[in-house]
Structure 1
Amino acid sequence: MKKSTCYLGLLMALAVPSAEAANQEIRALFQPDPSQPNKNAFLNKTPNSGYCASYPGECASNNMFSIQLPIRFNASRFIGVGEGIPLKVPANWRQLTVTNAETHETETVEVRITGVGSRFILSDSAASLVGVTDSLEGHQKLWTSNSWVYAPAPCQYSGVGAYSPTSYRFFWKTPVEASCVKVAAYFIPSMYFDTLDIAYELRTPNPLDMSSGLYTGSIPYTLGPGADFDLGAVMHPDDANLTLDFVLDVQHTLKVDLPPGGNKVSLEPEGGWQRWIEGGRKPNRIYRDQLFYLSASSRFKVMMLCNSTGGTRCKLFSPKGNTTEVETYLTLPDGIIGPGGPGPVKLHKLRYNTWSSVFQPGIYVNRKAGSLRFEMPKDAIDFLLRPGLSDTFSGNITIIWDSEV
């Protein structure tokens, strides 16, 4: 038997970021991990910026990722006493379609915004605006519910805040899609938010069900009064549109290894030829089970090639011109579902020049043992062991493994 080994690797060619400030690429990668075969999840590969770059521990404990967007919100006028600045972000799950660039298969990705923050810059120091000398006291008194580190409901406190005499950096968690309003206790002549920090969460499809390749898709958002990202009627962004461009890179593994000498298979009766020679009883079976080691993280199919007239049998030939036949059966490691449905794949008969139905790993199978059984049918045994025949038969059988399904 000849071995056919398939390596399936995908390299993600990431889209070049747009020159516009309000386009942001989000990347995620799946590669099977031999140390965690049950972990069938994408790994976020977008570099953290903004809040999570400054406070990585806080984000890690909440499974959050953040990006800082160069979008500035400017106040169109003053902020009056008792006037609120609401913050609302698209905190509900939204769906987008990602498409494999080569196969054109589509999958659904879900995203939601789980946090929002920025740094606002005041026209004068907070202390001056409220008539005190201490900067922190000024920031605390400028708003009716203390400084911006304390998130108004339904937003949640993140535990971080930083300030200067004229600025305050904050970040709030956004568990629901609703306005979180901070109310001014003093007159503010002018202010602006210099960037927009957002934290996000992804729901990605099961990568074991996906073909290898690069999946891309986009989801658009609007910014401004009444938009997806809404900071109220007074605060206006310098870009009214934000597009998140998603790139999912799926890099599967399909590898078949034979032990040394495994490409040469000798068929024998159970117990060997000597038992038959000494006992004189015709063997019921002549076969050999050949071990192999399979690594697979995605669906695949199998085909057998040999000298055959079709069906499930391959021909073996002798120097004397005689022929006999052999059939091939495939047994796969546990964790792979075959065309027969749930349960192990045991002794699945292969057909000449015909792709099998798809085999689907339920987990990443990493160098697990399977076998190929080469067995002579009963009529071939009767022909081979007829009186007076002394001969040697040989032939080649090739098994092809392919993840292009």
Structure 2
Amino acid sequence: MANFKKHLPQWLCLLALFVAPSADAVQQEIRALFTPDSANPQRNTFVNKTPVTGYCAEYPGECRQNETFSIRLPVRFQSTSALLPNTAPRRNALFSVPAQWRALTVTNVDTGETETVELRIAGFGSQYQLSDTAVKLTGAPTDLEGHRLLWSGGALGSWVNAPPPCQYSGVGAYADNYYRFFWKTPTEAACVKLAQFAIPAMSYEYLDIAYELRTPNPLGMSSGLYTGSLSYRLGPNGDFDMGDVMVPDDPDLTLNFVLDVQHTLKVDIPPGGNNVRLEPLGGWQSWLQAGRRPVGLFRDQTFNISASTRFKIQMGCGPGVSGECALENSEGTRRVRLFISVSLPDGITDLSGQPVRRLRLRHGAENAQHFKPGFYVDRAPGTLHFEVPQSHMEFMIRPGEASTWAGTVIVIWDSEI
């Protein structure tokens, strides 16, 4: 008889990406979560968990319809001189944001493993505040007409309409002296609104941004804490460039990333499955009635495994013989080898990508076998195969001798690799 146990280490890991930038920089935390989904096991991506603030918190329906979101940064841009008609784009309302993908390296603080995360700014917005009302600046009869006439574009002059290559991303909101807007940025190029009337002073009261994130495959990431950050320069000719006239109150922005990976590694063994009784194929009748010695002793023990992370299986046993697990007779005078192998469900392979079918397990941590899921496997059946080979039958089973053979096998499923 063989007894085996399962060992499950801590399988919840938090993957965070952050550093300590200068105290003067504007800082924003970016959060994303991976957790296995039994209803959608093929989905191996992080989900954005950054709290929505700013434009999309005020107009959630618009953002759902346009498949975007926003976070608000406490950065204010103030004009250093008047915005005047017939001047260069950089002396008007110009916007250029880092819409191309930028990469950062994140490092596991425990293992030193590195991964790459990429981010692009997919949209931005703010609220421009005028030094006077749009009606007084333009002579228009209404606030809305004043905002339209104030900028280039004619009937499309209001800031709900984005100048190319920026794109529309939802409704605007206005009053007599401000206009709230939000635009998509499919490419990294300047979007410009040209003043059609003199504007003595203007400000952007905050900076709303939307981003897209490319993260590593979480199924290939080790447990642990990963750290990293992205820093940007704000202001004329910086990463967030609002032209030469509009200057931020803080020129530095640091995005601190927190990726939360909640892996699952769980093995369920049916009740009584820790007591494994080996028998010949077809039972003992041929030996008991006709004295025909079995060709071997066998038992398959099923288990259910849920896995979203790489793991290893290692084995310990007692007693042993010649580096193999063994069974020992009740008198303690003889031992026979006990072979153990494992079959894993589809979706879990060895590190070379091959299916796992009757893979031999050997005693000792140095003989641990490593595996990886191709997708989240949720309570799928696997099998431990136990066998005493034919070569030991004559030594083990003798006419006129009754004996009980037993041994202990400890099988460890371990995500700490």
**Which residue is 2:377 aligned to?**
365
1:26 to 2:30 alignment: yes
Cα distance in structure 2, aligned partners of 1:76 and 1:394: 87
Structure 2 residue corresponding to 1:211, chosen from 202, 222, 227:
222
Read off the aligned partner of 2:26 and give its amino acid letter: A
The DSSP-based 3-state class of the residue aligned with 2:219 is: helix
The DSSP-based 3-state class of the residue aligned with 1:381 is: helix
1:159: how far off?
Answer: 2.4
**Which residue is 2:143 aligned to?**
135
The 1:60–1:108 alpha-carbon spacing in structure 2 relative to 1, beyond 3 Å, is farther
**Which residue is 1:175 aligned to?**
186
**Which residue is 1:326 aligned to?**
338
The 1:179–1:32 alpha-carbon spacing in structure 2 relative to 1, beyond 3 Å, is same
The 1:400–1:125 alpha-carbon spacing in structure 2 relative to 1, beyond 3 Å, is same
Deviations 1:346-378 (A, max 9, x none): 111111113423200111111111111110022
The DSSP-based 3-state class of the residue aligned with 1:127 is: helix
The 1:290–1:103 alpha-carbon spacing in structure 2 relative to 1, beyond 3 Å, is same
The DSSP-based 3-state class of the residue aligned with 2:172 is: strand
**Which residue is 2:391 aligned to?**
379
Compare 213-222 and 2-11 and name the one that shifted more: 2-11
Q: Give identity over the alignment, percent.
A: 54
1:17: how far off?
Answer: 8.9
1:13: how far off?
Answer: 7.2
1:316: how far off?
Answer: 2.7
1:123–1:188 contact (8 Å) kept in structure 2: yes
1:64: how far off?
Answer: 3.0
Cα distance in structure 1, aligned partners of 2:65 and 2:277: 58
2:286–2:293 contact (8 Å) kept in structure 1: no
Structure 1 residue corresponding to 2:115, chosen from 85, 103, 107:
107
1:160 to 2:151 alignment: no
1:310: how far off?
Answer: 4.4
Cα distance in structure 2, aligned partners of 1:60 and 1:159: 10
**Which residue is 2:42 aligned to?**
38
Read off the aligned partner of 1:41 and give its amino acid letter: T
Cα distance in structure 2, aligned partners of 1:13 and 1:179: 33
Deviations 1:83-121 (A, max 9, x none): 432100000000001122322221100000010110010
**Which residue is 1:273 aligned to?**
284
Structure 2 residue corresponding to 1:76, chosen from 80, 97, 101:
80
Read off the aligned partner of 2:86 and give its amino acid letter: G
The runs of 5 or more residues in structure 1 that have no matched partner are none
2:314–2:369 contact (8 Å) kept in structure 1: no
Cα distance in structure 2, aligned partners of 1:316 and 1:295: 34
Read off the aligned partner of 1:356 and give its amino acid letter: A
The DSSP-based 3-state class of the residue aligned with 1:221 is: strand
Read off the aligned partner of 1:100 and give its amino acid letter: N
1:392 to 2:404 alignment: yes
Cα distance in structure 2, aligned partners of 1:14 and 1:349: 39
Tell me: higher relative CO, structure 1 or 2? Use CA pairs within 8 A at least 6 residues apart. Answer: 2
2:315–2:368 contact (8 Å) kept in structure 1: no
1:165: how far off?
Answer: 0.2
Read off the aligned partner of 2:214 and give its amino acid letter: R
The 1:62–1:310 alpha-carbon spacing in structure 2 relative to 1, beyond 3 Å, is farther
Cα distance in structure 2, aligned partners of 1:5 and 1:16: 35
2:24–2:252 contact (8 Å) kept in structure 1: no
Structure 2 residue corresponding to 1:8, chosen from 5, 8, 11:
11
**Which residue is 1:337 aligned to?**
349
Cα distance in structure 1, aligned partners of 2:48 and 2:306: 24
**Which residue is 2:69 aligned to?**
65
Deviations 1:150-176 (A, max 9, x none): 111101111210001000001110000
**Which residue is 1:93 aligned to?**
101
Read off the aligned partner of 1:113 and give its amino acid letter: I
**Which residue is 1:184 aligned to?**
195
1:312–1:350 contact (8 Å) kept in structure 2: no
**Which residue is 1:126 aligned to?**
134
**Which residue is 2:310 aligned to?**
299
1:3–1:258 contact (8 Å) kept in structure 2: no
1:63: how far off?
Answer: 4.4
The 1:159–1:320 alpha-carbon spacing in structure 2 relative to 1, beyond 3 Å, is closer
TM-score normalised by the chain length of structure 2? 0.92
Read off the aligned partner of 1:264 and give its amino acid letter: N
The DSSP-based 3-state class of the residue aligned with 1:213 is: coil
**Which residue is 1:286 aligned to?**
297
Compare 198-207 and 252-261 and name the one that shifted more: 252-261
The 1:272–1:208 alpha-carbon spacing in structure 2 relative to 1, beyond 3 Å, is same
1:230: how far off?
Answer: 0.5
Root mean square deviation of aligned Cα: 1.9
1:385: how far off?
Answer: 2.1
The DSSP-based 3-state class of the residue aligned with 2:407 is: coil
